Structure 1
Amino acid sequence: MRDALLPRCLVRCAHLLWMSLIAVENCDGKILEKTLEEWVRYKDECFKRIETEPYPSGLFCNRTFDMYACWPDGSPGSLVNVSCPFYLPWFEKVKHGLVSRKCGPDGQWLLLNGSEPWRDHSQCRDEMEAAGEVEGAHQLMVSFKVLYTVGYSLSLLALVLAFLILTVFRKLRCTRNYIHANLFASFGLRAASVIMKDVLLEKLWGKEIFEVSDWETLLSNEVAIGCRVAQVLMQYCILANHYWFLVEAVYLYKLLIGAVFSEKNYYTLYLYLGWGTPVAFVVPWMAAKYLKENKECWAVNENMAYWWIIRIPILLASVFNLLIFMQILKVILAKLRANQKGYADYKLRLAKATLTLIPLFGIHDVVFIFATDEQTTGILRYIKVFATLFLNSFQGFLVAVLYCFANKEVKSEMKKKWQLWKLDHPAVCCTQ
């Protein structure tokens, strides 16, 4: 009976929950991991009963665990009923229901097609009233995953190229471009960490489950180590990305107000702020998860206080960015009005500056500050997930285009390098 398949509803539900887990960067994945833990507890309790209860005399169907329910010894020719297993996520709805198996007159459990055990678990399938919704949600999550995978992959390619351009060409080496390059690096690391996390989660949760050992392997600490490392790296990269937004905002504000300062000294502080600040929050979060919630991929947030160790610095950075953004717009507006050639002209230039700064400062994140995962449900949650995944995944590509590929200084330097290359390789140019 160890080789019996889990009911399709459970496998499908597990895969839907897995897709939900990998679709959102900060999703807690609580339902899936809790279900697996409860399943293991149910299985262990079943095996204890199997080992301790006395055997009846005469002919009977052997007690067994068929990966779905725990069955006692059955009398030949009888229908054996047990309560719906408590590990089901929807157990509260079906706790009075029964699951049944037939014990044949020969003392063997009735099989379906000669191999799979026959079982009637219709009373334990309340969640399948929404089977269409489950399937639809699964397809939606698959679409979301394709969307952000394309976005992060495209962003990663563009960011690597932009980073190389800003660091390789000497005439582009200045504090402003160094800050841009660090922002590109944070975007690139964030994209790479999300992709890596998805690969590990897919390896962990994406395979079909057939035997008891498959579940036990998934829940083992050895398998979860790589997943935990990916979670830690992803949280660090997300924090670093937000704090390099803040560095960009602070630097631009200082330039606009004409503050006199040593760029070299301040650049060192910028490095500490962008790459060092996340460490101050990720390390305590990692310690809290290890000591208090050391479960599977560290995606379970039973105590939300630990999750706020990561959430608070992100919210603070977003709020500071918004405040600086508003101050910068005031400065830009004042300068444009002082030098205006026409009302429509400076309004247009202000709008252009505003739209250009939004992706650089990550201002779109402010929209979802108070729309947390716990407060959004149903259609609103799907809208939030789509908007967040789309903007976050393609933002790196947009920033690389605006602040590198479309930058006049960069295009001018690239053009000069191309002209010099053609002069140094006249034979190649002539053959073209």
Structure 2
Amino acid sequence: MASVFRSMGLPWTLLSCVSFFVTLSVTPTASTAQTTEVCRSKSRLFERRHFELHSCAWCYQYLGRMSDIKAHPIQPYLFVMTNRTALPARTILVPDISNASAVKQVCSTLSKPNCEGWQECCQAARDCCQRQLSADPQPNGTCSRNWDGFSCWDDTPSGTTELVRCPGFLQYASFSGYAQKTCWENGTWFSRHYHDGHNGTRQEWTDYTTCINKQRMLTSLYLALGCNTISVIFLLPALIIFLAYRSLRRQHRIRLHVNFFTALLFSNIMSIMWDFIVTHDRITDDSDSGTTPVLFSNGVGCKLLAFLRLYFKSNTYVWMFCEGFYLHRLISNAFRPPKSLVFFYGSGWGVPLFYCMLYVILRGVYANDSCWANSFGHLEWIVYCPNLLCLVINLFFLCNILRVLLTQLQTHPNEPSNFRRALKATFVLIPLFGVQLFVTIYRLPAGQAGAPEYEQFTVFVNNSQGFFVALIFCFCNGEVIAQMKRTCTRRNLLRAGTEISSRGVTMGTSLHPRDDDNEGGGAGTNGSLLHRNGGQGHRGSKSAVVNNSCASGNDGNRDGKRGSEKYSYIPMKTLTSGGGGGGGGDVRSPV
């Protein structure tokens, strides 16, 4: 075929001429309309077909990093320099990704990941050529549109720096980073002086240093894994506590917390799985190992994980809105609280499913590659727009709640503590409403001082929300603390009763009646836990002091009624159950 030739010992110049004319034989002739379509690659203009092959050859040169196979500086082919490859020396390869046999032959010299990355680069170059041809004529005083070997650059005004997303086919590339290219005041792209292999000439240069930084990517990855893991550790017991106590789970506010915490928990779990299975595998993959990273395999399981990660992350935004809407309605209209949470359940779990499914369908049709990790362009706003809308509305809710609290404070101007409580309440609501996520919307330009540190700060804010909401609204919640103390007290009392029973000892407890005449009555009786109150009309007795490991203080006594007599007791199991002193008394079972 015309895509492969062997030189048979011909001189290099003759070989170049022969291969050039042969490759032209597979391209359109000069009489066709395509001969007038030219695209720019690295400051050179090429006819469209020539551009496609030439740019694809240099994609191989940049990505393959092989000294045995080189791209020709001008001609659209690859040349095998030595016999150290699977192909004989002086073999000519035409890098045409539309030709299956040519792709197979080129990929025989690459690992599977590099082969897939090479084809992505070639396709990006073709898209760039089409983009150049469809753009308006170049304005005066601008740097010309260009393909630099990795990325496509539009016409750029002089004296400015243009940014584009880092290409995903670069090894160790950061999907959130940007490459930058500077246009000088004279309307030319920034260039650098090269000595080796370029005869001391200047060539255009693009800064990709911000795209490829393996150590920084690993640092951000481990930071995200740590924050998500800590969030899961705090969210899981918080959910158990909320669901264990009936008095808590019956409250509408707690029910909303349970759903929001559940969404955060699953979002953190999906993020952990994605970072460990996909991102870590992509960063630590050795291109020469021959294995295909999960990201490039583009399997069904990887896409399912991407969908679940996107869905549960969107759930957290909508549940933040539900929390804000519920609290705002309680404060603005306290006499008519919501009677049903059906609307909140449907919104929190159903609305994100709708727009996430729409995104996935469009993604599967138009950009079904790399496990949907690469940017989808403007269609990303299918997910971004509703999530951002939830944050904006919650910011309005928070400001209005603060306004209502400050208005109420005007009725008590001489109490500065009220003002402090209002500010404290407002700051406590920030992680619940997700207002802190606004600081992650803006990204510092690539290469600017502090950009790496700000990127890591963004990772921390995005992945630690579960930790803060669980800490503030569960473990620091007064109702939860009171329930936990009561539980510890009951268990301690039952444990103490069990120990006494095992020793065969009956413990008496002296409870003091309210009237002084009966004080000390039955003091010599230790066989009963009950003491009859002597006077009529007394409705209770003083409580006994119970010291235990969970809490210490006054434990309220229950009043038992037998006929017209009042009894006070401590619910503690004893070995004996008969009345011993203070006749007529009975021993009750522990509660």
TM range (shorter): 0.5 to 0.7
Are positions 1:305 and 2:378 aligned together? yes
What pairs with 1:193-342 in structure 2 (closer than 5 Å)? 193-202=270-279, 204-205=281-282, 206-210=284-288, 214-215=291-292, 219-221=296-298, 224-261=299-336, 263-265=338-340, 267-302=341-376, 304-342=377-415
Relative to structure 1, the CA distance from residue 56 to residue 184 in structure 2 (aligned partners, 3 Å threshold; closer, same or farther) is: same
Q: Describe the superposition over 1:348-402 as per-residue Cα deviations: whole angstroms up to 9, x where unpaired.
A: 2222122111111111122344x2x6x8433365344222211122221111010
Give 2:348's aligned amino acid.
G
CA distance in 2: counterparts of 1:95 and 1:320, whole angstroms: 57
Q: Describe the superposition over 1:45-83 as per-residue Cα deviations: whole angstroms up to 9, x where unpaired.
A: xxx76xx535455799xxxxxxxxxxxxxxxxxxxxx99
Give 1:410's aligned amino acid.
V
Which structure has greater helix proportion? 1
CA distance in 1: counterparts of 2:261 and 2:293, whole angstroms: 41
- Corresponding residue of 2:492: 422
Measured after TM superposition, the shift of residue 427 of structure 1 is 6.7
Contact 2:303 2:371 in 1 (8 A): yes
Q: Describe the superposition over 1:108-133 as per-residue Cα deviations: whole angstroms up to 9, x where unpaired.
A: 769xxxxx99xxxx769x99998987
Contact 1:84 1:95 in 2 (8 A): no
Relative to structure 1, the CA distance from residue 314 to residue 210 in structure 2 (aligned partners, 3 Å threshold; closer, same or farther) is: same
**Percent of pairs with identical residues:** 25
What pairs with 1:134-213 in structure 2 (closer than 5 Å)? 137-173=213-249, 174-202=251-279, 204-205=281-282, 206-210=284-288
Give 2:343's aligned amino acid.
L
What pairs with 1:29-44 in structure 2 (closer than 5 Å)? none
Give 1:322's aligned amino acid.
L
- Corresponding residue of 1:40: none
Contact 2:242 2:248 in 1 (8 A): yes
Measured after TM superposition, the shift of residue 261 of structure 1 is 3.9
CA distance in 1: counterparts of 2:295 and 2:314, whole angstroms: 29
Contact 2:248 2:254 in 1 (8 A): yes
Relative to structure 1, the CA distance from residue 238 to residue 85 in structure 2 (aligned partners, 3 Å threshold; closer, same or farther) is: same
Contact 1:83 1:95 in 2 (8 A): no
Local SS of the residue matching 1:338:
coil
Relative to structure 1, the CA distance from residue 101 to residue 280 in structure 2 (aligned partners, 3 Å threshold; closer, same or farther) is: closer
CA distance in 1: counterparts of 2:291 and 2:74, whole angstroms: 27
Contact 1:84 1:96 in 2 (8 A): no
CA distance in 2: counterparts of 1:95 and 1:350, whole angstroms: 71
Give 2:375's aligned amino acid.
N
CA distance in 1: counterparts of 2:209 and 2:381, whole angstroms: 35
Contact 1:360 1:399 in 2 (8 A): yes
CA distance in 2: counterparts of 1:216 and 1:190, whole angstroms: 23
Measured after TM superposition, the shift of residue 198 of structure 1 is 1.3
Local SS of the residue matching 1:284:
helix
What pairs with 1:121-132 in structure 2 (closer than 5 Å)? none
Measured after TM superposition, the shift of residue 332 of structure 1 is 1.4
Measured after TM superposition, the shift of residue 100 of structure 1 is 8.2
- Corresponding residue of 1:86: 58
Measured after TM superposition, the shift of residue 209 of structure 1 is 2.4
Measured after TM superposition, the shift of residue 278 of structure 1 is 0.5
Give 1:395's aligned amino acid.
Q
Q: Describe the superposition over 1:288-307 as per-residue Cα deviations: whole angstroms up to 9, x where unpaired.
A: 001111112112235x2321
Contact 1:84 1:97 in 2 (8 A): no
Please tell me whether Structure 1 or Structure 2 has the larger radius of gyration of its CA atoms. 2
Local SS of the residue matching 1:377:
coil
Aligned residue among 407, 410, 416 for 2:480: 410
Measured after TM superposition, the shift of residue 428 of structure 1 is 7.6
Local SS of the residue matching 2:392:
helix
CA distance in 1: counterparts of 2:262 and 2:456, whole angstroms: 24
Bigger Cα displacement from structure 2, 140-149 vs 421-430: 421-430
Measured after TM superposition, the shift of residue 86 of structure 1 is 2.6
Listed as ranges, the gaps of 5+ residues in structure 1 are 1-47, 61-81, 111-115
Measured after TM superposition, the shift of residue 318 of structure 1 is 0.8
Measured after TM superposition, the shift of residue 96 of structure 1 is 4.2
Bigger Cα displacement from structure 2, 195-204 vs 140-149: 195-204
Q: Describe the superposition over 1:182-240 as per-residue Cα deviations: whole angstroms up to 9, x where unpaired.
A: 111111111111011112204752432226x645986444xx32221111111111111
Relative to structure 1, the CA distance from residue 203 to residue 337 in structure 2 (aligned partners, 3 Å threshold; closer, same or farther) is: same
What pairs with 1:47-86 in structure 2 (closer than 5 Å)? 52-57=3-8, 85-86=57-58
Contact 1:83 1:96 in 2 (8 A): no
CA distance in 1: counterparts of 2:453 and 2:353, whole angstroms: 32
Contact 1:243 1:274 in 2 (8 A): yes
Contact 1:236 1:278 in 2 (8 A): yes
Relative to structure 1, the CA distance from residue 406 to residue 216 in structure 2 (aligned partners, 3 Å threshold; closer, same or farther) is: closer
Measured after TM superposition, the shift of residue 419 of structure 1 is 0.8
CA distance in 1: counterparts of 2:390 and 2:435, whole angstroms: 10
Give 1:241's aligned amino acid.
T
CA distance in 1: counterparts of 2:208 and 2:260, whole angstroms: 44
CA distance in 1: counterparts of 2:393 and 2:55, whole angstroms: 55
Relative to structure 1, the CA distance from residue 364 to residue 96 in structure 2 (aligned partners, 3 Å threshold; closer, same or farther) is: farther
